[in-house]
Amino acid sequence: MSPASRTTYRVCFVCTGNICRSPMAEAVFRARVREAGLDALVEVGSAGTGSWHLGEPADPRTAAVLEAAGYPLTHTARCFEPDWFARTDLVVALDEGHAAELRALARNSTEAAKVRLLRSYDPEADPAEMSVPDPYYGGERGFAACLEMVEAAVPGLLCEVAAALGAREAG
C-alpha cells in the first residue's frame, strides 16, 4: 500500500543512537499532534542510524528534560531500516549527517525525498546551521538547548503534516 493511499500519516525522527535527540523530537511532536486532535491520523516514531543502543531506553538526561517540560516518553531504541521508507511518509533527520545517511539508504529518489531536516521547519533557524547538536557528550544544558530547538521546529512540521492530511482527504 502506498503512503498516499493510507489515512494514517507516518513520521519517523532519526538521530544517531535513538536515545537523545530523536526520542525527544518524537515526544514533543506526539504531544503537539495530540493537542491538535490529530493523534488518530498521525503515527509518530523514532530510530537511530546505528545499532549501538538497540533495546535501550532514552538517555536519562533526555528523559529528565522531557519530564521537566511535561512531555511523556515511553521509548525503546531501534535502528532505521531501509524498508521503512515504504511505510513512512516523512523521515525527519536531526542533523545533516543523518540526512545524508538516510538518503544513501533510500532505494530511489521518491524515498530520498521523504528525508527532511527537523530545523528546516523552524523559520528562525539559521540556514547555515540546520543540525540539532548532539547533547550526548555534554552536560544538562545541551539537552535543554536540544529541546528548545525541537520545540521551535515542531509547529512548522505539524503545519506541513496537517496540510498533507488535508490534501489526502481532498484527493
d(CA 165, CA 151): 21
* 142-156 as b/e: b if 16+ CB within 10 A: bbeebbebbbbbbeb
Find the helix or strand (DSSP H, E) in which 12 lies. Answer: strand 9-15
Q: d(Cα 47, Cα 22) in Å, to the nearest integer?
A: 7
42: its cell numbers: 498521525
What positions carry a catalytic annotation?
A: 15, 21, 134
H or E element, residue 166: helix 140-170
